[in-house]
Amino acid sequence: MRVTMTLSLPRQPTSVTRARHTLVTLLSLTEATEESRGHLAVLITEACANAVMHADRDSTVDITIDIDDQVCLLEVGNRGSSPNGAGRLDVGLPDPLTVGGRGLPLIAALADTAAFVAGPPDQVLLRMTKHLADAGPRTTR
C-alpha cells in the first residue's frame, strides 16, 4: 500500500498538532511498529514546531507525507532559511542545554535519514525518512 498526502498549513502553533494527528491517522492504516509510529510522531512534531517558530512571518508550513510498505518519507518546508545554512543535522545537544534547541538533535537521532535539501529559492525543506520496522502486508486468518 502507498499513501501520499500534501498539506499546506498556516504558520501557527495549532498546525503542529494538526500535522501530527494527520500522520498518526495515516500510520494507523499501516503495519508500522509502535516504536516507528512514536518516532515519526516526534519527527513531524519537532520539524513543524521549528517551521512555525523560524519561518518568515507570512510563510505557510508545507508538509508531504509519503508512506509505502517499508518507509515513511516526511518533508516539512517553509519560506525562510536553514539554520546556519546547514545541510546535515548535528546529533549533539546544544550547550548549554536550554528550553529550546533540542528539535534538530532529536530529529537526527530518531530519523533514519534527515537533511535540509535544495528546494525552491528562499525555501527551507527538511527531508526525513524512517523505516517502518516489521512493516509488511497484512495477513488474514
Mean pLDDT of 15-44: 96
Written as one letter, the residue type at 4 is T
Mean pLDDT of 35-57: 94
User: Into how many domains does the chain fold?
Assistant: 1
- Domain that includes residue 36, residue range: 3-131
Identify whether 136 is part of a domain. no
User: Can you give the pLDDT at residue 7?
Assistant: 97
Identify whether 41 is part of a domain. yes
Give the distance from CA 60 to its chain's centroid.
Answer: 15
Distances (CA, A) of 41 to 23, 98, 111: 7, 22, 11
Identify whether 55 is part of a domain. yes
pTM over 0.95: no
> Average pLDDT over the chain, rounded to whole?
84
pLDDT at 51 over 80: yes
Cis peptide before 96 (omega within 30 of 0): yes
Identify whether 137 is part of a domain. no
User: Can you give the pLDDT at residue 103?
Assistant: 81
Stretch (H or E) spanning 20: helix 14-27
pLDDT at 63 over 50: yes
**For residue range 81-138, what is the model confidence (pLDDT) as tens digits?**
666 555 555 545 445 445 456 788 889 899 999 988 877 778 889 999 999 976 444 4
User: Can you give the pLDDT at residue 124?
Assistant: 86
Q: What is the CATH number of the domain that holds 97?
A: 3.30.565.10
Identify whether 49 is part of a domain. yes
Q: Which long-range contacts (CB under 8 A, 24 or more apart) does 79-88 make?
A: 79/55, 79/122, 79/123, 79/124, 80/54, 80/55, 80/56, 80/122, 80/123, 80/124, 81/122, 81/124, 82/116, 82/124, 82/126, 83/54, 86/116, 87/115, 87/116, 88/115, 88/116
- Confidence category of residue 1, pLDDT binned at 50, 70, 90: confident
Identify whether 139 is part of a domain. no
Identify whether 124 is part of a domain. yes
Tell me which of 23 and 89 has the higher pLDDT.
Answer: 23
